[in-house]
Amino acid sequence: MTFLTAEMPSYTYAVKGEKLLRSGGCECMIARKEKTSSESCGYLLKISGKCRDALKILDRYAVPYKVISDGGA
Amino acid sequence: MINFDNAATTFPKPAAVRRAVSVAMRKFGGNSGRGGHELAMLTSAALYSARETAAEFFGAQPENVIFTMNCTHALNMAIKGIMADGGHMIISSMEHNSSARPAAALALKNKISLSAAEVFPENERTVESFRSLIRKDTKAVVCTIAGNVTGQLLPFREIGQLCREHGICFIADGAQACGIIDVKMSDGINILCTSGHKGLYGITGTGMLITDGKFPITPIIQGGTGSGSLSLFQPDILPDSLESGTPNIIGAMSVKAGIEFVRSIGTDKIFRHESALCQKFITLIEKNDDIIVYRSPSAEYVPIVSFNIRGMPSEKTAALLADKGFCLRAGFHCAALAHASLGTENGTVRYAPSVFSTENDTVSLVLQLTKLKNY
């Protein structure tokens, strides 16, 4: 189940975020945006499982993101 | 055919590099960072892994590794990108045209002011030479880590420190050093430009710009990046801002394999092997009074030896050696400033071994050289 979906500015940051989160014990996967947003096409980081630290991890490593759905992670 | 022109591009390439190219051709046929289908994602992951390998090798962040066509491309991006708003720039008197020409082009159009720091055999004098040229508006120092004509190793760590003290961007040209000596961004380098096809053993058409991100680089090329597609403005995130258009994915995979090959041996061991060959070469040819070697006992060198047969144009020497199956580059090596400093009006012949070069081949070369002096 996806708890949090973050829009990533590029594939590079999506995969960097994915690796950092996985090494921090957060389950996640990269997905292509299903719907083209007003900004552009791109990639999402879907974070599953309870991972309250996910955003802190991304912030700590200066990985840019935009939360587009927060399921309570 | 025996290749001693490895300072231009290394050949042969390691088996692991050849395999990596073959795998990339068969598996990574999508486009990177553009699309969500399996082929695109596989290719994107592969390219990211190449960034990670390079980042780890040089002590950088993966997103700060920009794949380029070659070192010249990287240096143009760095020089024009950092100097976009003008200012003063210092280059060394040993620079390759890959730095000297873009710098001169900006200076000729009065977009920047440019100074050239003289390089001496003694490191302290070279550092002082750079220090004496620093002005209030000095924005960048561009310096090769090792000259491509004589192989002289410049005091790049000390120059990096000098730049750090003055808040100046240090752009280092690592074309003749990367893969042969241990180069890290923590050596005081803000932007490292290197080829991928020389000491890193990737295929031709590869290079990298690696930045520590402290000095924003204005892109000189804009275009598709796979990100922010609806905006007419170039993204400001790396690597996208500096990597427009489809990257050379197969080339990047070859560089990754090349770096892994270098790492498996170790730069120390590579340096020792190639330097030992250079020393053997010098020892043998110095017995001959008709051969001039362009080295100073006060300077340090990467494994390159420039020489001439007295009274014989360098191109003639190289042509006669080529007839005997030896590949050495003669002439001016795209380095007008360095040859002007050396005073070599007819250029030089350059002996540049690789990790695959042998002592036997070096001795054979010297035997041929001994015969040539009678021409």
Give 10-residue mean pLDDT values along chain B (375 residues): 97 98 96 90 96 98 98 98 98 96 98 97 98 98 97 98 98 98 98 98 98 97 89 93 96 98 98 98 92 96 96 94 96 90 91 98 95 71
Distance CA B324, CA B335 (A): 27
Contact with chain B for residue A41, Cβ under 8 A: yes
pLDDT of residue B317: 95
Please check whether residue B174 is in contact with residue B207, taking contact to mean a CB–CB distance below 8 angstroms: no
pLDDT of residue B346: 87
- Give me the residue from B32, B41, B227 closest to A40, CB to CB: B227
CA distance B40 to chain A (A): 11
- Separation in Å, CA B93 to CA A30, B59, B78, B193, B362: 49, 28, 19, 18, 30
Contact with chain A for residue B36, Cβ under 8 A: yes
pLDDT of residue B53: 98
pLDDT of residue A73: 44
CA distance B176 to chain A (A): 29
Provide the 8-state DSSP code for B14: P
A56, pLDDT greater than 80: yes
Contact with chain B for residue A22, Cβ under 8 A: no
Contact with chain B for residue A68, Cβ under 8 A: no
- Give me the residue from A16, A32, A40 closest to B63, CB to CB: A16
pLDDT of residue A45: 93
Beta-carbon contacts of residue B266 (< 8 Å; ≥ 6 apart): none
Q: Is the pTM of this model over 0.90?
A: yes
Nearest residue of A to residue B66 by CA position?
A12
Contact with chain A for residue B230, Cβ under 8 A: yes
Q: What interface predicted TM-score (ipTM) does this complex get?
A: 0.85
What's the rounded mean pLDDT across residues A9-19? 94
Give the alpha-carbon dihedral of B24, B27, B30, B35, to 10 degrees. Answer: -130
- Residue A69 vs residue B72, higher pLDDT: B72
